[in-house]
A and B are shown apart, each in its own frame.
Chain A
Amino acid sequence: MRLILLDQETDKRFHFNPLALSRPIWELRYGITSLAEKLIAATGLNATGLNDVACFVPPYMADVYKSRTDWPVNDPKSLLGDDLFIVSARVRAEFFSEDKTDSKTTGPSRVKFDDDGDCLLIRVAKEDIGKLKTDSIDSLIESAKAAFETCNCDVPTWNYTWELILENPDQLIKDFAMLGRSGIEGTVEQPSGVRGSKNDIFIGRGALIHPMAVLDAEHGPIYLDEDVEVHPFTRIEGPCFVGKKSILLGAKCREGNSIGPMCRLGGEVEESIIQGYSNKYHDGFLGHAYVGEWVNLGALTTNSDLKNDYSDVTVMLDGRTPIDTGSTKVGSLIGDHTKTSIGTLFNTGSYVGAMALIAATGKPLPKFIPSFAWFLEGVVTKGFGKAKLYETAATAMGRRKCQWTEADLKMWDEIFKLTAPVRKPAVAKGRRSLARK
């Protein structure tokens, strides 16, 4: 059986922006692994006859994603020749651990759509494939909707990025238990301070913990992946995951953080997820935030994650409509390749688009900064344009031995177009403001 991961361009997809602008939703980091890894594990790859994985992503990101995965991407041929189990990236993996017929990957062909008609699950028995149109994933979904029975089950879904942030600490604990790894394969230089059970700590091969670092696993496990480096005076509080080759530079790494590979982390970080390849080298507080890749947060960049009146935090995903997160703690969502200047202050529940360049004003910034914005002099401008941002992106990637490709350029050009409707009014407002000065 083949698992097909599905990320369609539905109305709800933008709920995962700015992080999902440049990647399929299932690539989002959550706990120790990604949503995709969780879906694959939960649906039982190899264990229940599932023998391969294919995926369908928004077409504009297909070429870039092909270079990052071994799975077939947007290939209609992957809809033929085997039993299929199609799963939306928004489906929570825990659904498959429920002991229900509909959560099984086997059984009769069936479909499940949400209330807005978005596809969540399709099971296609091999003998039923002939009943479906297989020239594209959209045709297959439409024909399956007409051909197969709908499950009555409730399928839990992810609806907003901040849900991942808020549930990350618990997921870290679950993932640590599931991976079942503990012990020290790297080097811990003395004196060091380890609190809690050593069974709750895993230090991967090649990882180096300098003297005077504290690993506090009393309230949750700590997983430091291969070649992580922890500099003196860093304090890591579990639950926490730090990805390969990341460096912690005297960081106050509070509970609930998932830090992806190749990051540089300093200052105070709490209950935040950093996808990978991003720098928060210096002092400054990052809390309840989700940060993309290739982000650089300048020294003293700080986000608020709690309002002074302790009311629920709202986030504006479209620049206009506040969405109540239902939580008193939400920091900022920061898209790939965004850079902040020294002293940048983000308001509670800020949306900071991808490929944005932010210069501090000394005051908390607006809660919505569109992608590709040059935020200068307190307003959104077109700045020096996207070509300059691409140059910087290529330089940043080159510093980590990664390459900015023609496919990246085309994808980001599409993202530039996709995000234009919310950026243009912000630029016009900024222009008026500058002209009035």
Chain B
Amino acid sequence: MATVKERVVAVTARVLQLDPKEILPEKTFTVDLGAESVQSIELVASFEEEFGIEMDEDAALSVENVGDAIAFITKVCKEQDVEI
């Protein structure tokens, strides 16, 4: 089974139409990866669908980079008893 990191990278690459190799933990979604506001919302929805979780939108949208997204999603999965 793919890791949380691999799944986050795959979703981000698909939504933002980027090469997965560009999606590194320190990269920010907006400045480095070029996510526009609507794409940020699409990313949150796609992460929820990928992991089967519900994220608080304010908290989710305050996550700035890929590494923090991995950590945030891991935490939410644990809180919601979702196997990862």
Contact = CB atoms under 8 A, between A and B. Distances in A.
Interface of A: 359, 374, 376-377, 381-385, 387, 430-432, 434-435, 437
B46 interface: yes
Contacts of A431: 45-46, 48-49
Contacts of B61: 384-385
B41 interface: yes
Interface in B33-47: 37-38, 41-42, 44-46
Given A381-B41, A437-B42, 18 more contacts: A374-B41, A376-B41, A377-B42, A381-B42, A382-B41, A382-B45, A382-B57, A384-B37, A384-B41, A384-B61, A385-B56, A385-B61, A387-B58, A431-B48, A434-B45, A434-B49, A435-B45, A437-B15
Contacts of A434: 42, 45-46, 49
A357 to B, nearest CB: 11
A54 B59 CA distance: 43
A383 B37 CA distance: 9
B19 interface: no
B44 A376 contact: no
A377 B50 CA distance: 19
Interface residues of B, number: 15
B45 A385 contact: no
Nearest to A424: B54
A395 to B, nearest CB: 17
B23 to A, nearest CB: 17
B44 A432 contact: no
Q: Which of B37, B48, B57 has the most CB of A within 10 A?
A: B57
B45 A381 contact: yes
8 contacts: A359-B38, A377-B38, A381-B42, A381-B45, A382-B45, A384-B41, A385-B57, A435-B50
Contacts of B46: 431, 434-435
Contacts of A385: 56-58, 61
B52 to A, nearest CB: 10
Nearest to B61: A384
A161 to B, nearest CB: 30
Contacts of B38: 359, 376-377
Nearest to A433: B45
A385 B38 CA distance: 13
A434 B44 CA distance: 10
Contacts of A435: 45-46, 49-50
Given A376-B38, A376-B41, A435-B45, A383 B50 contact: no
A381 B42 CA distance: 8
Contacts of B45: 381-382, 430-431, 434-435
A110 to B, nearest CB: 51
A434 B14 CA distance: 11
A383 B49 contact: no
Contacts of B57: 382-385
Nearest to A427: B45
A384 B57 CA distance: 6
A385 B58 CA distance: 6
Nearest to A431: B45
Shortest 3 CB-CB distances between A and B: which pairs? Answer: A435-B49, A385-B57, A431-B45
A383 B55 CA distance: 12
A387 B60 CA distance: 13
B16 to A, nearest CB: 12
A383 B15 CA distance: 16
B45 to A, nearest CB: 4
A377 B44 CA distance: 14
Interface in B1-23: 15
A377 B45 CA distance: 12
A382 B57 CA distance: 7
Nearest to A435: B49
A13 to B, nearest CB: 28
Contact of A383 (B41, B48, B56): B41
